[in-house]
Amino acid sequence: MARVLTIEDDAVTAREIVTELKRRGNEVDWVDNGATGLRRASGGEYDAITLDRMLPGLDGLAVVKALRDAGVQTPVLMISALSDVDERVRGLRAGGDDYLTKPFAPDEMVARIEVLLRRRGAERATVLRVADLELDLIARSARRGANILELLPIEFRLLEFLVRNSGQVLTRTMIFESVWGYHFDPGTNVIDVHIGRLRKKVDPPGIAPLIRTVRGSGYRLTESGLAETE
Amino acid sequence: MLKLSDHWRSATTRLILIYGAFFVLWGIVLIGVVYWQTGRYLGHVVDEIVEQRARYLEGVERPMLPKAMESTGALDLRGVMSIGLFGADGSYVDGNIERLPDDLPVDGAIHALPNGLERRGRAIREPARGLAQRLDSGEVLVIARDTSVIDQVASIIREALLWGITLTVIPGLIGGLLLSRRPLKRVRAIEAAIEPIARGDLGRRLPVSRRGDEVDMLAAIVNRMLGEIERLLVEVKGVCDSVAHDLRTPLTRLRTQLYRLQQTGGGEEGIEATLEHCIADVDSLLERFRALLRISELEDLGRRSGFANVDLGEILGEVHELYAPLAEDGAIAFRLDAPAGLAVHGDRHLLFEAFTNLVANAIKFTPARGIVGVRVSAEPGGPRVEITDSGPGIPRDEREAVLQRFYRSESGRELPTQGYGLGLSIVAAIVRLHGFRLGIDDNAHGGTRITVDCWADAMTSAR
């Protein structure tokens, strides 16, 4: 169970965030202003923070900057009504780990928080494993059991992202942002097609599939033995 | 109707009045100077004549004096000279002056005699200039000359002045009023033309005459502005209409599904499926709103801060990588001919978004076994990106309209593949932001050929 701090001045949005995070088994504290939020977050006892960009008094940018200056490395998801790309860059530069624009779908928000929670500590590995799937990040090669997977560079990057966040729901937007590095909605089913091709290589018929579709949300790479909850 | 106050406010009238006043003033000064100079000269002439006669008569022997006086008088045809000889006691001796004037000192110098002299046989006393000289015999000789001639000249000049001013100022004023009528009339005409425009009839324009003067230039400027406003309003109305139209379909479908759910329930399985459809519908609605917001964001925001040198070959390579699987699934040959090294000054993210949109559209509208091509070529002005497909193409008369928000080509509507029609508008906005030029025509395969001329076009960047 993870502890999440929600800094959000709008009560309706806050309730939405808190409800959804609690539903997914997290312990959530809510504060409605930047100053209190900064004080609580400085303790370092939280695993992740959702931070509204625009707060009365001390605003989101100032809070995340103060936290990073104080050496607090808790992952921060910035949430903002400002959708401009420059705004996003500013938020990430100040020390935010991810940026989500309002209005947002609750499942998107939770998916992003869970990715942030997972990210801690997993960064340095050179070989990633999920069940019998193995990714060598140095050699850029992948194996499923005894079979070597012939992957295009883009397919390898996609698989790496799925494996790094195995067990997490990843929305199409998150996949596009992380793997391709662009922040707009590609709109078509282009991500689905890429996943489809990857699936053919990673999950050939006859083997328990690893890549699952989460209806209405996105995808999840998960060990075959785990019970499907969606 | 034109009122007098309108005339007064007219710039022409005021100019003419001010000019008239200056003219009158200047005329008075000029004629005053002429009058003064002439008077001085004539007075001088009179003095000379008087003095000349006096010197002559002074030199005449006393016995000859009456004769000389008579002959001098005979020369004076107009009767303006007065000559008189008076005894030492002031009594009349000879000449045509009745009495020695009291206001004339006997000193041989010329003095003005504003009251004139008492002439023999003449009742009227005319102002004159004259002198009185004591002769050796002790008698006093008086010679004077009327100055009424000078006064006559003065009155002639005064009259000339009056006539001159009258003849200049009155026609000037009338002309001014007439001149100011025309511009005022035209201003009234413009006012009348503007009223319906202000009430919302944007099809109207201000009257422009063939003269091409200042008022016409102004009217032409306003007309151009009205044209632009009309175009924008029509566009906004078109957008509103099509947004309403386009949103009604998924909203109606959503309502139908929710209604069915409420009425029948449909069991666990049915509820699940219906809800999924509902979420998909809402997602597609949100998608449209996002795209609309994106367009207005692009249109009102000069995002030139993020501009840098961008390699087109690299970007198009990424676009190809992203869309190759989709093309392959649709059995479409997706060809890329983009050598590295052709760079433009622009925003990498936005250009990627634009080319992504164009390629996505090309793939969407190309049937199986078709071809989609992406090509960069070096033109004299700069690099040109060309995206061709073997789809149905866009009819010539629809090409301008497809760039407008939410517009979907009629032929596109009939295809089973769905498109929100916003893609090209986003592309157009991005291209406009860069000052590039977007062109739509057809290609050898009969499909669409879209060109993006990646150089700042003077016309586009000026807008």
Cross-chain Cβ contact B325/A216 below 8 Å: no
Question: Would you write out chain B's pLDDT as a tens digit for each of its 463 residues?
Answer: 455 566 666 677 777 778 878 888 888 888 888 888 888 888 888 889 888 888 888 888 888 888 888 888 777 777 788 888 888 888 888 888 888 888 888 888 888 888 888 888 777 788 888 888 888 888 888 888 888 877 788 788 888 878 887 887 788 778 777 877 777 888 888 888 888 888 888 888 888 888 878 888 888 999 999 888 887 787 777 767 767 776 777 788 888 888 888 887 667 777 888 888 888 888 778 877 777 777 777 766 555 566 788 899 999 999 999 999 999 998 999 999 988 888 888 888 889 989 998 998 899 889 999 999 999 998 888 899 999 998 888 887 777 766 665 454 544 443 333 444 667 777 888 888 888 888 888 887 778 899 999 887 544 433 3
Q: In sequence order, which residues have a C-beta less than 8 Å from that of residue B233 and are 6 or more positions away?
A: B202
Domain boundary among A86, A119, A152: A119
Does residue A228 sit within a domain? no
- Which tokens hold the place of B402? 């497809």
Nearest CA to A105 out of A16, A225, A204, A228 is that of: A16
Q: Is B59 helix (H, G, I), strand (E, B) or coil?
A: helix
Domains identified in chain A, total number: 2
How far is residue B420's CA from residue B411's CA, in Å, rounded to a whole number? 14
Q: Which residue among B279, B287, B352 sits closest to A187, beta carbon to beta carbon?
A: B287
- Which tokens hold the place of B7? 């005339």
Nearest CA to B385 out of B373, B394, B396 is that of: B373
Largest CA distance in chain B: 164
Q: Per-residue pLDDT for A76 more than 90?
A: yes
- Evaluate whether A211 touches A221 at the Cβ level (below 8 Å): yes
Q: Is B401 helix (H, G, I), strand (E, B) or coil?
A: helix
Averaged over A129-153, what is the pLDDT? 90
A window 82-101, beta carbon within 8 A of B:
83-86
A86 and A157 assigned to the same domain: no
What number of C-beta contacts closer than 8 Å exist between A and B? Answer: 54
Strand intervals (E) in B239-332? 308-311
Nearest CA to B34 out of B208, B216, B198, B161 is that of: B161
CA atoms within 13 A on the CB side of B9: 8
Cross-chain Cβ contact B356/A193 below 8 Å: no
What's the DSSP call for residue A104? -
Kindly report the number of other CB atoms within 10 A of residue B287's CB atom: 15
Cross-chain Cβ contact B326/A188 below 8 Å: yes
Would you call A144 an interface residue with chain B, using a CB distance cutoff of 8 Å?
no
Does residue A36 sit within a domain? yes
pLDDT for residue A155? 92
pLDDT for residue A227? 44
Q: How far is CA B327 from CA B200, B367, B370, B384, in A?
A: 49, 10, 10, 23
B window 330-389, beta carbon within 8 A of A:
349, 352-353, 356-357, 360, 364
Domain boundary among A77, A97, A119: A119
Domain boundary among A119, A143, A162: A119
Greater model confidence, A19 or B102? A19
Would you call A121 an interface residue with chain B, using a CB distance cutoff of 8 Å?
no
Kindly report the number of other CB atoms within 10 A of residue B33's CB atom: 10
A132 and A210 assigned to the same domain: yes
A7 and A113 assigned to the same domain: yes
pLDDT for residue B306? 67
β-strand pairing of B383-389 with B343-346: unpaired
Cross-chain Cβ contact B321/A154 below 8 Å: yes
Q: Which residue among B276, B329, B420 sits closest to A215, beta carbon to beta carbon?
A: B276
Domain boundaries, chain B: 214-297, 302-462
Which of B289, B310, B314, B326 to substitute to test the interface with A, most A CBs within 10 Å?
Answer: B326
A112 and A134 assigned to the same domain: no
β-strand pairing of A76-80 with A98-101: parallel
State the smallest CA–CA distance between residue B202 and chain A in angstroms.
35
- Which tokens hold the place of B210? 């063939």
Instruction: Select the CATH number that applies to the domain covering B214-297 from these four: 1.10.287, 1.10.3470, 1.10.45, 3.30.70.
Output: 1.10.287
Whole-prediction pTM:
0.58
Report the residue of chain A nearest B422, measured CA to CA.
A187
Cα dihedral B16→B17→B23→B29 (10° resolution): -170
Does residue A181 sit within a domain? yes
CA angle A76, A180, A67 (to 5 degrees): 15
Cross-chain Cβ contact B293/A83 below 8 Å: yes
- Evaluate whether A161 touches A179 at the Cβ level (below 8 Å): yes
Greater model confidence, B299 or A149? A149
Does residue A230 sit within a domain? no
Q: Per-residue pLDDT for A144 more than 80?
A: yes
Q: In sequence order, which residues have a C-beta less than 8 Å from that of residue B240 and are 6 or more positions away?
A: none
CATH number at residue A141: 1.10.10.10
Cα dihedral A118→A119→A121→A122 (10° resolution): 90
pLDDT for residue A70? 87
CA angle B309, B312, B314 (to 5 degrees): 100
A113 and A8 assigned to the same domain: yes
**Which ipTM was obtained for this model?**
0.73
CA angle A199, A176, A127 (to 5 degrees): 60
DSSP states of A131-171: TTEEEETTTTEEEETTEEE---HHHHHHHHHHHHTTTS-EE
- Evaluate whether B371 touches B327 at the Cβ level (below 8 Å): no
A110 and A128 assigned to the same domain: no
Measured between beta carbons, which residues in chain A are less than 8 angstroms from residue B353?
182, 184
B window 276-335, beta carbon within 8 A of A:
276, 279-280, 287, 290-291, 293-294, 297, 301, 303, 305-306, 318, 321-323, 325-326, 329
| Mean pLDDT taken over chain A | 86
Does residue A226 sit within a domain? no
How far is residue B233's CA from residue B239's CA, in Å, rounded to a whole number? 10
Provide the domain limits for residue A71: 3-119
Nearest CA to A193 out of B364, B275, B372, B413 is that of: B364
- Evaluate whether B327 touches B360 at the Cβ level (below 8 Å): no
- Which tokens hold the place of B336? 């890329």
Angle between helices B312-329 and B348-365 (to 10 degrees): 30
| Least confident window among A30-34, A164-168, A201-205, A213-217 | A213-217
- Evaluate whether A40 touches A67 at the Cβ level (below 8 Å): no
Cross-chain Cβ contact A84/B305 below 8 Å: no
Q: For domain B302-462, give the fold.
A: Heat Shock Protein 90 (3.30.565)
| Least confident window among A102-106, A124-128, A198-202, B307-311 | A124-128
A155 and A94 assigned to the same domain: no
pLDDT for residue B383? 92
CA angle A133, A135, A139 (to 5 degrees): 145
- Which tokens hold the place of B180? 């100011």
Q: For residue range A24-45, what is the model confidence (pLDDT) as tens digits? A: 888 999 999 989 999 999 887 8
CATH number at residue A90: 3.40.50.2300
How far is residue B452's CA from residue B387's CA, in Å, rounded to a whole number? 9
A136 and A203 assigned to the same domain: yes
Kindly report the number of other CB atoms within 10 A of residue B281's CB atom: 20
pLDDT for residue A196? 92
A85 and A138 assigned to the same domain: no
Q: Is B234 helix (H, G, I), strand (E, B) or coil?
A: helix
Does residue A84 sit within a domain? yes
Does residue A229 sit within a domain? no
pLDDT for residue A157? 92
β-strand pairing of B111-113 with A48-52: unpaired
Nearest CA to B420 out of B281, B246, B259 is that of: B246
Cis check: omega of the bond before A103, within 30 degrees of 0:
yes
A81 and A98 assigned to the same domain: yes
A175 and A150 assigned to the same domain: yes
- Evaluate whether A135 touches A159 at the Cβ level (below 8 Å): yes
A137 and A85 assigned to the same domain: no
- Which tokens hold the place of B413? 């509507």
Q: Is B147 helix (H, G, I), strand (E, B) or coil?
A: coil
pLDDT for residue A142? 92
Instruction: Look up tokens 């020695």; give the residue.
Output: B100
Instruction: Look up tokens 């009969």; give the residue.
Output: B446
* H or E element in which residue A4 lies: strand A3-7
Nearest CA to B396 out of B451, B441, B443 is that of: B441
Q: Is the dihedral of CA A59, A61, A67, A70 positive or negative?
A: negative
Query: Chain-centre distance of CA B307, in angstroms?
Result: 38
- Evaluate whether A97 touches A77 at the Cβ level (below 8 Å): yes
What's the DSSP call for residue A43? T
